[in-house]
Amino acid sequence: MKNFGAKSALLAAAMAGSLSMTATVPAFAQDETIKVGVLHSLSGTMAISETTLKDTMLFLIDEQNKKGGLLGKQLEAVVVDPASDWPLFAEKARELIEVNGVAAVFGCWTSSSRKSVLPVFEELNSILFYPVQYEGEESQRNVFYTGAAPNQQAIPAVDYLMESEGVERWVLAGTDYVYPQTTNKILEQYLMDKGVAKEDIMINYTPFGHSDWQTIVSDIKTFGSTGKKTAVVSTINGDANVPFYKELANQGIKAEDIPVVAFSVGEEELAGFDTTPLVGHLAAWNYFQSVDTPENEEFISAWQTFMNDADKVTNDPMEATVIGFNLWVQAVEKAGTTDTDAVLDSIIGLETPNLTGGIATMLPNHHLTKPVLIGEIQADGQFEVVSESELVPGDAWSDFLPESKMIEADWTAPISCGNYNTETEMCGATAM
């Protein structure tokens, strides 16, 4: 693992108190507000996951405005719907920056949507805070990756299954796009480096919104019937998770037989169906609603008050959104301006409390320090934490791929580069 410095001391800050129940941000004259872009799918296959992140941004903006806003101005959310259409994300990002004049954008879920908008943020020199776990192999000057890198989720999840469950055969099941493909490339190499035979690794991809899982689940059941302990590592995204888990239950696949560890299923997704047959299956994240800390208790209470729903759940990408927003606020206050270049310079090294009782630090590679949590699904749709690590620095480039293990990202002088080759000592050595 590439290290970016010593861990920071724990801050004593706490979340703000109860928030307004208003779920919208009032409009102001342009010169009276700082506009903040919200770029999440509110329709289409990813709406099941992304709509809550839009609400999270309204929640955070409302909270900040109750504290007096930022730089003496109120914040104003500008919400758009890219509708789970990856090219439309780029169009909507350009609209937010060029037409609406937002100071920063919080958004995207899939790596396809993030990849779509990268050229826009680079061309227009704006800032994106990306709040979801991803495949790594990237560090862009205008993006802050507040979700997990593979070394903060995928690799620890496989280690847990090997050590705690004795897993020997592996099904890498994912949705057919960038994040699962690259993550599974890393995991396949990692497993083979650990001595797993290629024939003990099954890889399967399905399109977004896939609903007919009968044959695939049957194949998984057959693959796991050889006498070797088998597990599914799932990078299935969006609403396809609902029929996938239902089919596991239909075919009698229980956690004690073939455990599933998911990287894109959290409390929000589980709220959509009966979780009783799923009890014991796993997810790997950096936050769960069930974490018992004062910070988390206060956050949940404020969130449920804002949403006027005592049962409204929280999840990991929400926490990543909170962390990113708080760091942006700090960076703007430190810089005294929302100017992109000034914020990019001021944010490195800033710290904010996470909701699990530790500290998130923005590293020079635009990733965070995060704990790794493995959670077991309970009948009520929550997770019991069965494993928790110390803070892990996010690694932009995987140590387990031969073509990228020598590449570093460091956006501070003198390197100031997202893909610096430590062997050639040159920038621009793109691995993927």
The last residue of a domain, from among 218, 251, 285:
285
Query: Which pLDDT does position 15 carry in this prediction?
Result: 32
Query: Which pLDDT does position 429 carry in this prediction?
Result: 58
CA distance 293 to 275: 25
Query: Which pLDDT does position 269 carry in this prediction?
Result: 84
Residues 216 and 229 in one domain: yes
Q: Which of 236, 179, 270, 238 is nearest to 44 (CA)?
A: 238
Query: Which pLDDT does position 1 carry in this prediction?
Result: 38
* Composition of the chain by helix, strand, coil, percent to 5: 35, 20, 45
Does 425 map to a domain?
Answer: no
pLDDT tens per residue across span 170-201: 999 999 999 999 999 999 999 999 999 999 99
Residues 270 and 356 in one domain: no
Terminal Cα-to-Cα distance of the chain (whole angstroms): 19
Ranges under pLDDT 70 in the chain: 1-31, 429-432
Domain that holds residue 144: 30-148+294-370
CA distance 422 to 403: 12
Quick check: bond before 414 cis, omega within 30?
yes
Does 423 map to a domain?
Answer: no
Residues 66 and 161 in one domain: no
- Number of domain units in the chain: 2
Residues 40 and 70 in one domain: yes
Rg over alpha carbons for the chain, rounded to the nearest Å, is 21
Residues 137 and 162 in one domain: no
Residues 176 and 277 in one domain: yes
CA distance 389 to 374: 9
Query: Which pLDDT does position 17 carry in this prediction?
Result: 33
Residues 91 and 193 in one domain: no
Residues 218 and 298 in one domain: no
pLDDT tens per residue across span 223-265: 999 999 999 999 999 889 889 999 999 999 999 999 999 998 9
CATH number at residue 62: 3.40.50.2300
The last residue of a domain, from among 255, 285, 315:
285
Query: Which pLDDT does position 239 carry in this prediction?
Result: 87
